[in-house]
């Protein structure tokens, strides 16, 4: 699959909202928060046209009710995901590409996604640099998602340091 970066689409928040409503109904009180994260959550940011959603839960245990609820609305648990800080769900075949990142509330990984998103929403100059980097990496690694993702890491960590300073007024 070819990696493509699209200009910001004002429809992305609506796509998030529609999916979030389905998740809210399916999970009920199991979902403490449902947040739009990733580049499609940053107005003006170019991105892969994939909606990233973070669902915050108290615990992954018991997990079967979560898996059943998500399956009922067409999201499949990817048990082979190597990131143990989350549980990862993807759309059923034939549905719009969506990434669901389920994390424990208050965890570092949950907070990191929110801090990055919130910082970027307030710093257009950093968004522009990020867009340029993503476009360059997408061109360079058109068929290698792993290399594309790895190439973004230094910039993301730089933004996280700036976001931390901004959040703590340092």
* Average pLDDT over all residues of the chain: 96
pLDDT in tens, 25-53: 999 999 999 999 999 999 999 999 999 99
pLDDT in tens, 142-165: 999 999 999 999 999 999 999 998
In a domain, 6, yes or no: no
Structure tokens, 78: 């990817």
Which alpha helices (H) appear in 73-144, and where do they start and end?
Answer: 108-121, 124-140
Question: Span 49-62, mean pLDDT?
Answer: 97
Residues 153 and 147: their CA atoms lie apart, in Å, by 10
Please state the domain count of the chain: 1
Residue 131's contacts (CB-CB under 8 Å, 6 or more residues apart) are 5, 45, 46
In a domain, 3, yes or no: no
Burial of 56 (0-12, 13-18, 19+ CB in 10 A): buried
Domain residues for the domain of 61 are: 12-168
pLDDT at residue 2, rounded to an integer: 84
pTM of the model: 0.94
Share of residues in the chain with pLDDT > 70 (%): 99
Listed in order, strand segments (DSSP E) in the chain are 33-37, 51-57, 75-77, 87-91, 98-104
pLDDT at residue 170, rounded to an integer: 67
In a domain, 7, yes or no: no
pLDDT in tens, 73-117: 999 999 999 999 999 999 999 999 999 999 999 999 999 999 999
Instruction: Give me the CATH number covering residue 81.
Output: 3.30.460.10
For residue 3, pLDDT beyond 80? yes
pLDDT at residue 93, rounded to an integer: 95
For residue 169, pLDDT beyond 90? no
Q: Is 73 left (phi over 0), alpha (psi -120 to 50) or beta?
A: alpha
pLDDT at residue 167, rounded to an integer: 81
């Amino acid at each position: 699959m070819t990696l493509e970066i699209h200009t910001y689409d004002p429809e992305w928040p609506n796509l998030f909202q529609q999916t979030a409503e389905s998740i809210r109904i399916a999970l009920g009180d199991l979902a403490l928060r449902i947040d739009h994260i990733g580049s499609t959550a940053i107005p003006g940011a170019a991105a892969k046209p994939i909606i990233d959603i973070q669902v915050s839960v108290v615990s992954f245990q018991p997990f079967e009710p979560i898996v059943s609820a998500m399956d009922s609305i067409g999201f499949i648990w990817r048990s082979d995901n190597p990131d143990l800080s989350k549980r990862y769900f993807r759309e059923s075949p034939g549905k719009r590409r969506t990434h669901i990142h389920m994390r424990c509330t208050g965890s570092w990984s949950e907070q990191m996604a929110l801090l990055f998103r919130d910082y970027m929403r307030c710093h257009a100059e950093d968004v522009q640099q990020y867009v340029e980097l993503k476009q360059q990496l997408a061109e360079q690694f058109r068929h290698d998602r792993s290399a594309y993702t790895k190439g973004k890491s230094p910039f993301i960590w730089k933004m996280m340091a700036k976001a931390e300073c901004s959040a703590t007024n340092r």
